[in-house]
Each structure stands twice: as structure tokens, then as C-alpha cells.
Amino acid sequence: DGGITQSPKYLFRKEGQNVTLSCEQNLNHDAMYWYRQDPGQGLRLIYYSQIVNDFQKGDIAEGYSVSREKKESFPLTVTSAQKNPTAFYLCASSIDRSLGYTFGSGTRLTVV
């Protein structure tokens, strides 16, 4: 079955550490997105990519980095510069925005 796979489901980060969240899709979608979800807030866009080797900053890109070397993969790195990284991270893809996004199952990141 086609879909988006995010891993790991749970991730713990120590202070000063960089961590990378994986997002893989086999839907042949061109566009991929990373959102952050915090309690009481709407999903906020971190980065997005419309094609391979190209990506744009979203509303809250500071402290995050991405790459898009393959169509299927869009990993997100949470760097030590991100001061409040504890959140639920969602990856999504779309082939046609009118059909909405397909979301992964999310990664819950906690700072310990």
C-alpha cells in the first residue's frame, strides 16, 4: 500500500544534540511538507519542497534544516539552535493540492 512513513515514532533529544526525523513516501508525490503541532496551536509549517533538490522555508524554519536529494525522502534535522523542540512533527505530501495532503503518523520529539 502507498503511504508516508515517519520514523521513529518517539524520539528523545538531549540538550545541545542534533536529531534527524525520517520521512519516506511511495506515493510518487512531488511536494512534501514538514509541520509542527503543539497543544492548543494549529499546525505550523517548518519547510516544504516542491521538487527534488529544492526547498523553501515555512513560517518557523529557525533551528531546523532539511534536504531533498530523492523524490521519496524529505528528512528533517532539529538542530541545537531550536530552543523549544518538544512537539509532535508531521510530514505530508501532495500530488494535487485540491486532493489535500497525505500525512504520516508523526514523530513525537521530547527534550530530556
Partner 1 sequence: EDQVTQSPEALRLQEGESSSLNCSYTVSGLRGLFWYRQDPGKGPEFLFTLYSAGEEKEKERLKATLTKKESFLHITAPKPEDSATYLCAVQALGTDKLIFGTGTRLQVFP
Distance (Å, rounded) from C-alpha 52 to C-alpha 97?
A: 18
Which lies closer to partner 1 via its Cβ, residue 15 or residue 54? 54
Q: Give Cα separations from 33 to 14, 51, 58, 61, 89 (angstroms).
A: 25, 11, 9, 12, 11
Q: Residue 59 Cβ, how far from partner 1 at the closest point, in Å? A: 8
Which lies closer to partner 1 via its Cβ, residue 31 or residue 80? 31
Q: How many CA atoms lie within 13 A of 85 on its CB side?
A: 29
Which lies closer to partner 1 via its Cβ, residue 49 or residue 82? 49
Q: Residue 54 Cβ, how far from partner 1 at the closest point, in Å? A: 12
Site residues, partner 1 (CB under 8 A) = 4, 6, 31, 33, 35, 40-45, 48, 50, 56, 58-59, 90, 92, 97-106, 108
Cβ–Cβ under 8 Å, residues 11 and 86: no
